[in-house]
Amino acid sequence: AQSVTQLGSHVSVSEGALVLLRCNYSSSVPPYLFWYVQYPNQGLQLLLKYTSAATLVKGINGFEAEFKKSETSFHLTKPSAHMSDAAEYFCAVSVPWNNNDMRFGAGTRLTVKP
Amino acid sequence: DAGVIQSPRHEVTEMGQEVTLRCKPISGHDYLFWYRQTMMRGLELLIYFNNNVPIDDSGMPEDRFSAKMPNASFSTLKIQPSEPRDSAVYFCASSLEPGRDGFTGELFFGEGSRLTVL
């Protein structure tokens, strides 16, 4: 079965600094990969997804992620953090023909300091 | 289009009481999922339905938990009797079936029901 590992349960950056949230996946077949964001007291909202097209995926709010098969990674980046980016971020993996077995990482809480 | 709608958003109850959480999926979606989120265990899939039929309930923690989907627009998750360790945020999510027009693999989540059992 597929799985994801998010490195770092907490990441703290200064406003304006680069955001890098790490995700490594394991899958025996070409995966679909997702980043979701969860703001306090809200549900999970899709930031971006990789579904076997372009390896560099752009999402909402200036975030992007690059699928690197050789590194089995799908790290999330944003060039300049904003206070409103403070939230919990989840990486998830599924297989193209079956999103019933989507596996989520443990989450990374992003703090943005003024 | 309205998203996934869950109710109640917050529920505080006493141990031993019955709790019913409700979910309305996005119209036209074929799959409905119930997840539980806790600090200790993260996001756990409890059960999912395909076309109103329960497919996999292996994540349901014990017999005190039950879920139903009487029609395509409504599902319930019931806990009876509730215990303090059931305190968590319960999410409902829905999606299209793979192969259908518009399928992206994405799960669409509701805002969750925060349950506190005293």
Report the distance separating Cα B115 and Cα B14, nearest Å: 11
Distances (CA, A) of B13 to A68, A72, A106, B82: 47, 44, 28, 8
Instruction: Find chain B residues with C-beta within 8 A of A99's C-beta.
Output: 31, 95, 98, 105-107
Single-letter code of the amino acid located at B32? L
Question: From the candidates B9, B36, B92, B107, which should be mutated to test the interface with A, based on the most A CB atoms within 10 A?
Answer: B107
pLDDT for B1: 63
Our CA angle for B53, B100, A55, nearest 5°, is: 120
Q: Do B106 and A42 touch (CB under 8 A)?
A: no
Q: Rounded to a whole number, what is the distance in Å from the CA of B80 to chain A's nearest CA? A: 25
Kindly state whether A45 is in contact with chain B, defined as any CB-CB distance less than 8 angstroms. Answer: yes
DSSP run (H or E) holding A10? strand A10-14
Write the secondary structure of chain B as one string of H (helix), E (strand) and C (coil). Answer: CCCCEEECCEEEECCCCCEEEEEECCCCCCEEEEEEEECCCEEEEEEEEECCEEEECCCCCCCCEEEEEEECCEEEEEECCCCHHHCEEEEEEEECCCCCCCCCCCCEECCCEEEEEC
Q: Give the pLDDT confidence of A15-70 residue by residue, as tens digits.
A: 999 999 999 999 988 899 999 999 988 999 999 999 877 899 999 999 999 999 99
Residue B38, number of CB atoms within 10 A of its CB: 13
Q: Provide the mean pLDDT of chain A.
A: 93
pLDDT for A39: 94
Give the sheet arrangement for strand A3-7, strand by strand.
A3-7, A19-26, A73-78, A64-68, A56-58
pLDDT for A58: 95
Q: Do B106 and A107 touch (CB under 8 A)?
A: no
From first to last of the 118 residues of chain B, give the pLDDT tens digit.
Answer: 689 999 999 999 999 999 999 999 999 999 999 999 998 989 999 999 999 999 999 999 889 999 999 999 999 999 999 999 999 999 999 999 888 888 888 999 999 999 999 9
DSSP run (H or E) holding A12? strand A10-14
Our CA angle for A58, A42, B59, nearest 5°, is: 95
Our CA angle for B108, B60, B113, nearest 5°, is: 45
Q: Do B105 and A34 touch (CB under 8 A)?
A: yes
Report the relative pairing of strands B113-117 and B88-95 from DSSP bridges.
antiparallel
Q: Rounded to a whole number, what is the distance in Å from the CA of B55 to chain A's nearest CA? A: 10
Query: CB-CB: which of B91, B104, B106 is closest to A43?
Result: B91
**Torsion on CA atoms A73, A90, B36, B4, rounded to nearest 10:** -120
